[in-house]
Amino acid sequence: MEEKLKHIVIVLACIIAFFPIGWIIITSLKTRFEVYTYPPTFIPHPPTLRSYYEIYQARGNFKYYALNSVIVTIISTFFTIGLGTFASYSFSRFKFKFNEFFLLLFLTTRMIPPMSLAVPFYIIMKKLGLVDTKYSLILMYTVTNLPLAIWLLKGFFDEIPQVLEDAAKVDGCSRFTALTHITLPLSRPGLAAAFIFTLIICWNEFLFARIFTLSTASKTLPVGIAELLGAEYELDWGNVSAAATTIILPMFFFAVFLQKHIVKGILGGAVKG
């Protein structure tokens, strides 16, 4: 009886959690008239891709927003994981003076509210001539997500025995070769978890994208949705839902497909041997 009750609670929690997402997807497939029908319908009659056509063809801007989001997210994620890998490996393997202090310093930068960073970083980007470019977002996302990657990956590197690298060096491997051929393959769950978390954060980020981008050439999908919500004469919830679905589904399927790596990454980095 107690086990059944747990299952019921889990099912109800999943329904509550996924209902808003399901409703957004359903709304994106409705006709303009059906979106405002009362009482609301739960199954579109008939389903239509009208909203997707309008935001990606009639308006034309969203296909550029989507491309910008893909470019910025992928490049930022690879930079973050690349720099985070070497930084976290250094913190794990080299015990230098103020090691723990600098590690905590990285963590505290992650705790700073993003809004408090917006103005000083905007001034910096303005002086560098990077405002309204994808480069500004790539730089910002790399800087703000690097502490998360370092902390996630350091836990994994700490779990990999140093003796494995020492044995490789005895066989003639350099430290870099030992890192690439032994340590990194063993830390794949941690790399995958850090990659996924960074990817999702970059894909969904709105604040810096809203502040640093002004034109179609640099705006991302979250900014595009804000423009739809700020329409002066008409707010088409079908178009808004279609845009939101475009943002939600790629990361949703990506996370579901790699959920084992996420769980391994969280548990592996948290357990100390």
Separation of alpha carbons 83 and 90, rounded Å: 11
What are the residue ranges of CATH 1.10.3720.10 in the chain? 60-231+239-270
Hey, which CATH number is domain 60-231+239-270, 1.20.120.330, 1.10.3720.10, 2.40.30.30, 3.30.1370.110? Answer: 1.10.3720.10
* DSSP class of 172: T
Apex CA 78: angle with CA 72 and CA 80, to 5°? Answer: 95
Q: What are the pLDDT tens digits along the chain (273 aa)?
A: 677 788 788 888 888 888 888 888 888 888 777 777 778 778 878 888 888 888 887 666 788 888 999 999 999 999 999 999 988 888 888 877 777 777 787 777 777 888 888 888 889 888 888 888 899 999 999 988 988 888 888 888 888 888 887 887 777 778 788 888 888 888 888 888 888 888 989 998 988 898 888 888 888 988 888 877 766 566 778 888 888 888 888 888 877 777 666 665 555 544 444
How far are the Cα atoms of 141, 180, 230, 232 from residue 195, in angstroms, in the given order?
13, 17, 33, 39
The token pair that represents 191 in the structure block: 């790399």
User: For residue 33, how many other CB atoms are within 10 A of its CB?
Assistant: 8
pLDDT at 265: 56
In order of 35, 88, 239, 241, the CA distances from 235 in angstroms are 11, 47, 8, 11
Return the residue matching tokens 């790629």. Answer: 250
pLDDT at 273: 40
DSSP of 46-101: S---HHHHIIIIIS-SHHHHHHHHHHHHHHHHHHHHHHHHHHHHHHHH---TTHHH
pLDDT of the residue at 35: 76
Query: What local confidence, expressed as pLDDT, does residue 81 receive?
Result: 92
Please answer whether residues 225 and 247 qualify as being in contact, where contact means their C-beta atoms are separated by less than 8 angstroms.
Answer: yes
Contacts of 22 (CB under 8 A, 6+ apart): none
- Burial bucket for residue 269 (CB in 10 Å: 0-12, 13-18, 19+): buried
Query: Could you write out the DSSP letters of every residue in 199-243?
Result: HHHHHH--HHHHHH--STTT--HHHHHHHHHT-SS---HHHHHHH
Structure-token pair, residue 149? 């990657």
Query: What are the distances in angstroms from CA 163 to CA 28, 86, 168, 176, 196?
Result: 56, 19, 9, 15, 29
